[in-house]
Amino acid sequence: MEILPILRSLRRNRVGAVLIGLQITLTLAIVCNCVSIIQQHLQQMRRPSGIDEANIFSFWNGWLGDPTDPAARVQGDLAALRALPGVIDAVATNSFPLHGGGSSWDLSIKPEKNHRKATSALYYVDQHALAAYGLKLTAGRWFRADEVGELRTDEDKFPATIVITQHLAEQLFPAGNALGRLVYFTTKEDIQGAQASLIVGIIQTAQTPFAGSSWGESFLENSTFVPFQYLDKSGVVYVVRTRAGQQATVMRIAQDKLYGLRNRRVIQALRPFSFIRHQAYLGERATSVMLEAVCALLLTITAFGVIGLTMYWVNQRRRYIGMRRALGARRLDILKYFHTENLLIAGTGCALGIALGLWGNAWLAVSLELTRMSAAFIGGGALMVLGLCQAAVLWPALRAASIPPALATRAM
């Protein structure tokens, strides 16, 4: 196939060629960056929280008035929940992964100020939490009943023992010997003096309550379990884990069971964990769907642009095509002509698109903390766009190839 005649004829249709090329450039650059953002969101949404998501539900429970015996009430509720058929275990706590609200603290490895610190979410739990959350213990042990204390409203105290996540362990002790080591909640300069806690167990994964918010990204898997029965007077969160397939049934009866036990209470936000996850990544999901739609529309519009303009070129050149056919060009030659022409335009567009896409990606990498896309990724995108354009040009090219040679001899 001769390229030079194609180029010469393109020069006569400069504006059209430039317009198509420009479209392809923008399309490739935008689509690649969108896909890369979508991939990041999907990857974020897919990260395991570390708990038995399929079988956990939770609700918030508050008391009317200021109860004088919060510990007895919570224990009574927990006993009732644990006795329900289909329940594996239940726990009263301040929060759970992806919940949104919770507390966090800076842990240090030395009792003096300005030592290596790591921010961690705090979960106040009892000896049942390992089973109630469905966590995976990778080293050490979980809390014994005798080491669980009480934490009341406005109390800030610290435990003698803690269990932390693998990720936090590695951050505090990069050498990998966190089990059995001390960490400090406070330093010597604080009112209470230095408070040391012994790491007795390591959990494989437990995301913080703040997963899903941009604020929580920096310490996503830094969680610390603290053996305190959480007894805030405004209310506690109950987390209940059921046997597979029993969640809906247990959720229906749990609320009535507790109201039956004591009527002067408030139960709110009774929700399966699947809802919590849905809620935590609402924005990401909406953005992903929107960007997917934008990509699909862009590719469609560009394909139709190619079809429209090529159709026009074919119509414009009907006589010349007829002439070429009369002079011995086969249908295949005509097809090839338009496909090669399109390849030249789209190829140039894609080359520029790769450059623009990478530039845009560099900018997004800073403003959105987006991972850089690889050359192979955008190269693959370019090939896809080229393929799409070739497919789009097929129909007009077939129309061109079907022009009869006799047309050359007829007046238009």
Partner 1 sequence: MLRYSFQLALRGLKRNLALTVLTVAAVGVGIGTCMTVLTTLVGMSGNPIPDKSSQLFVPQIDVAGPAARRSSGGPDGAKLPSQLTYRDAVALLKAHRGVRQTAMYEVAQTVNPPGGRPFQVAGRATYADFFTMFEAPFRAGAAWGQQQDDNRENVVVLGAHLAERVFPHRNPVGSTINLNSRDYRIIGVLDTWLLIPHFYDLTGGGFADTEDFYIPFTTAIERQIPTWGGTNCTELPPPGWQGRLNSSCVWIQFWVELPSAAQVRAFRDFLQGYAAQQQQLGRFHWPAEVALHDVTDWLVYSDVVPHEVRVNSLVAIGLLVVCLVNAVGLMLAKFSGRSVELSLRRALGASRRDVYLQCIVETTIVGFLGGLLGLALTAAGLAVLRALLDLGGRDSVSGRLAYLDTQMVVITVIVAIVATMCSGLYPTYRASRIQPAWQLKVQ
* Burial (CB count <10 Å: 0-12, 13-18, 19+), residue 266: exposed
Longest dimension (CA), the chain: 105
* Closer to partner 1 by Cβ: residue 1 or 296: 296
* Closer to partner 1 by Cβ: residue 68 or 218: 218
* Closer to partner 1 by Cβ: residue 9 or 119: 119
**Rounded distance between C-alpha atoms, residue 99 and residue 209, angstroms:** 5
Name the minimum Å distance from CB 149 to partner 1: 15
* Closer to partner 1 by Cβ: residue 114 or 328: 114
Name the minimum Å distance from CB 244 to partner 1: 25
* Closer to partner 1 by Cβ: residue 120 or 135: 120
Name the minimum Å distance from CB 180 to partner 1: 25
397 CB-near residues (< 8 Å, 6+ apart): 310, 314, 334, 335, 337, 338, 339
Number of Cβ within 10 Å of residue 250's Cβ equals 22
* Closer to partner 1 by Cβ: residue 15 or 145: 15
**Rounded distance between C-alpha atoms, residue 232 and residue 299, angstroms:** 55
* Closer to partner 1 by Cβ: residue 131 or 408: 408
Contact 70, 63 (CB under 8 A): yes
Residues paired with 131 in a beta bridge: none
Name the minimum Å distance from CB 364 to partner 1: 7
Name the minimum Å distance from CB 357 to partner 1: 11
Distances (CA, A) of 91 to 13, 82, 349: 73, 9, 59
Name the minimum Å distance from CB 85 to partner 1: 25
Name the minimum Å distance from CB 263 to partner 1: 8
Phi/psi of residue 180, nearest 5 degrees: 85, 0
AA letter at 61: N
Could you give the residue ranges of the DSSP H alpha helices within 165-317? 166-172, 247-261, 273-280, 282-316
